[in-house]
């Protein structure tokens, strides 16, 4: 007679059954993630995910929340009290900004220079805002003077911009635009999904009232949390609303009470994801923000030099290029999907396709967080050369040699 209860779990150290082995085979193989996100996870972050779960009001868990909040303030470059990580991906952060700061009928000016600017428009409209689109051709940034003129004309309640447009690889200058917005009494909202942790983000210096990001890109953590930060000015707006925030789940005032000294229950927090975020932020702190930014710039330059040596080109103009996300033009006559498929099947490398009007025209190649390494730059250049040859596109040699030369000239690489 056994002393194991009938409903107790099997011995976790026992060898897996045939059924369990089949389940393991159903899980995806390991990839090198060089697309628009997610990015690779450092081993320390993976290990943090396996730490035992505790309750969301456990004293040690609450202390961990405080450390995460302090680290997030440093990465955001802000002293904002309401700085935290919402449950949900970056889109939940986007929705939280518009849901909390806007009421039905409010005017909002949204910069649209790609797919994610257009998504902000849709989210704002769904919350009843009257949206003024400040739109430019994909691949361009919003001109500062044009934006300032639009602010003065529309006198919006809020102005929203994408700092790093993931669909085009374009960087947007925001400081002057947001200064003009605040002069007109408007709140400012910034999408930092593809920039936070990979290039400078200066929330306080740029006058940003609300910003959101995600964990799975430059922060090097799994998807599932959306770091956000809200200024005192933004929180005053939220707390003086005429009607409650439509979304209970994304009500920032309620989240602030859980993350603040009240510790008021709002939801069961995703403990494992917060463990991972804490470890990812610790790694950023240990590396140092300026060192991290320099690493992303160095690997970006080596990749660009390698691609150009192969005869490939970056679709985005040089002065607007992100160091974290590269829009690579597909050579004429090349089946871009076949190349991506070859990279997955032959090299276990993931890169992204174009969105919207850029579908079939570009590959989106990311170097974010732990994925931004010299090893990955050399790996993807060599793999691209082979993939292009295998799909019948011809020879594209010289990429790795050019990248190595860039690293030698820089005196280092990682």
Is residue 14 predicted with pLDDT exceeding 70?
A: no
pLDDT of residue 255: 96
Sign, CA torsion 376/381/384/390: negative
Answer yes or no: is 16 within a domain. Answer: no
| Tally of structural domains, the chain | 2
Model pLDDT for residues 108-147, shown as the tens digit of each residue: 999 999 999 999 999 999 999 999 999 999 999 999 999 9
CA–CA distance, 147 with 159 (Å, rounded to integer)? 10
The residue segments making up the domain with residue 330 are 289-409
* Whether residue 266 is found in the same domain as residue 359: no
* Whether residue 250 is found in the same domain as residue 293: no
* Whether residue 141 is found in the same domain as residue 174: yes
Answer yes or no: is 21 within a domain. Answer: no
Final residue before a domain boundary, out of 285, 309, 328 = 285
* Whether residue 200 is found in the same domain as residue 220: yes
* Whether residue 350 is found in the same domain as residue 225: no
Final residue before a domain boundary, out of 253, 285, 317 = 285
Model pLDDT for residues 241-265, shown as the tens digit of each residue: 999 999 999 999 999 999 999 999 9
Is residue 11 predicted with pLDDT exceeding 70?
A: no
> In this structure, what DSSP letter does residue 9 have?
P
Is residue 50 predicted with pLDDT exceeding 60?
A: yes
pTM summary value: 0.92
Cis peptide before 8 (omega within 30 of 0): no
Model pLDDT for residues 340-384, shown as the tens digit of each residue: 999 999 999 999 999 999 999 999 999 999 999 999 999 999 999
* Whether residue 384 is found in the same domain as residue 351: yes
Final residue before a domain boundary, out of 285, 305, 338 = 285
Answer yes or no: is 12 within a domain. Answer: no
Mean pLDDT of the chain: 93
pLDDT of residue 58: 95
Closest CA to 132 of 116, 104, 113, 153: 153
* Whether residue 149 is found in the same domain as residue 225: yes
Answer yes or no: is 1 within a domain. Answer: no
* Whether residue 296 is found in the same domain as residue 252: no
Answer yes or no: is 38 within a domain. Answer: no
* Whether residue 360 is found in the same domain as residue 244: no
């Amino acid at each position: 007679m056994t002393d194991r209860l009938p409903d107790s779990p099997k011995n976790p150290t026992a060898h897996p059954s045939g059924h369990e082995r089949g389940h393991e085979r159903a899980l995806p193989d390991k990839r090198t993630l060089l697309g628009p996100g997610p990015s690779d996870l450092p081993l320390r972050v993976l290990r943090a995910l396996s730490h035992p779960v505790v309750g969301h009001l456990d004293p040690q868990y609450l202390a961990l929340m405080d450390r995460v909040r302090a680290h997030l303030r440093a990465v955001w470059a802000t002293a904002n009290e309401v700085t935290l990580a919402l449950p949900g991906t970056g889109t939940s952060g986007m929705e939280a900004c518009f849901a909390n700061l806007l009421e039905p009928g409010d005017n909002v000016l949204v910069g649209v220079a790609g797919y994610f600017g257009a998504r902000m428009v849709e989210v704002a409209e769904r919350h009843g805002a009257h949206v003024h689109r400040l739109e430019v051709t994909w691949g361009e940034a919003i001109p500062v003077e044009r934006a300032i003129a639009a602010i003065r004309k529309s006198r919006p309640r809020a102005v929203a911009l994408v700092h790093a447009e993931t669909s085009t690889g374009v960087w947007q200058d925001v400081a002057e635009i947001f200064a003009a917005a605040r002069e007109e009494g408007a709140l400012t909202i910034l999408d930092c999904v593809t920039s936070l942790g990979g290039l400078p983000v200066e929330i306080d210096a740029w006058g940003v009232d609300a910003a959101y990001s995600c964990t799975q890109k430059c922060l090097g953590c799994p998807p599932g949390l959306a770091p956000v930060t809200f200024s005192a000015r933004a929180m005053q707006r939220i707390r003086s609303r005429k009607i409650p925030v439509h979304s209970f789940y994304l009500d920032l005032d309620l989240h602030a009470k859980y993350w603040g000294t009240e510790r008021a229950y709002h939801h069961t927090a995703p403990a494992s994801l917060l463990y991972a975020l804490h470890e990812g932020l610790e790694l950023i702190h240990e590396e140092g923000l300026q060192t991290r930014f320099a690493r992303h710039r160095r690997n970006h330059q080596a990749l660009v030099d390698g691609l150009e040596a192969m005869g490939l080109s970056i679709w985005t103009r040089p002065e607007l290029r992100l160091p974290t996300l590269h829009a690579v033009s597909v050579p004429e006559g090349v089946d871009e999907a076949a190349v991506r498929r070859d990279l997955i099947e032959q090299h276990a490398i993931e890169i992204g396709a174009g969105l919207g009007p850029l579908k079939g025209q570009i590959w989106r190649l990311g170097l974010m967080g732990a994925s931004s390494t010299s090893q990955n730059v050399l790996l993807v250049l060599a793999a691209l050369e082979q993939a292009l040859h295998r799909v019948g596109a011809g020879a594209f040699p010289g990429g790795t040699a050019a990248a190595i030369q860039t690293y030698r000239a820089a005196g280092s690489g990682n």
